[in-house]
Chain A
């Protein structure tokens, strides 16, 4: 089963109990791809459900690139997803 890592930052990290990352085993969608949606992430990690379901609040990144809103992530083992709460740099 492919495993991916989900990184949590700032308010998302604290909402999960100050956990900086979570490893998630994915169910295979086909021979060599799996899919992670916001709903599956919320299901797998209930503490994050209210955050991750809110597209206005959490932006996703896959392997250090922003993911367009509304898209579903095709994933492979070793991919790194990040939950990006509203930015406050500067």
Chain B
């Protein structure tokens, strides 16, 4: 019985590459990326808007400058990239099942450092009428925080160090219970 430590960076484990969804069936409906170069809000909007869209709803998560009185310098993100992309694709499919009028969805998440004031996650959904698009973006961010394997370290100003954060939603993984 032996164990071997792999100190080299494992490609499946890397935070250094852009991972894009390559499932052909979903390519037209979903824009999914886990990447160091986050697409802009305009890129996401342009992807989801279609001729039948009467509404586009968007959510942008941004690095806040403080946490419980401490000044935050940046957030640093790490992901299990291939699984995060697969789970995002499942999440987009679940969202279209739940909100059946949704036309298209963009779901993009940053990797690496995200300074204060910059976007870490953008979610956008289009639909003929407003309600599905609005409910869909709320569902997407709530579920993303619960089940997409991405982690952030919050780095504070000065010598206050840093901590791995834990989403409250991650404790509610009831679908993984037997």
Contact = CB atoms under 8 A, between A and B. Distances in A.
Given A7-B12, A25-B1, A88 B166 contact: yes
A69 B144 contact: no
Interface stretch (B3-11, B21-29, B42-50, B65-73): B3-11
Contacts of A65: 83
Given A59-B173, A67-B176, A85 B151 contact: yes
Contacts, number: 127
Contact residues on B (Cβ < 8 Å of other chain), bracket: 35 or more
B83 A20 contact: no
Interface residues of A, number: 37
Tell me what chain B mostly uses at the interface: helix, strand, loop, or mixed.
mixed
Contact of B170 (A20, A82, A86): A86
Contacts of B164: 10-11, 85, 88
A71 B178 contact: yes
Interface of A: 5, 7, 9-11, 16-17, 19-25, 27, 44-45, 56, 59, 61, 64-71, 80, 82, 84-90
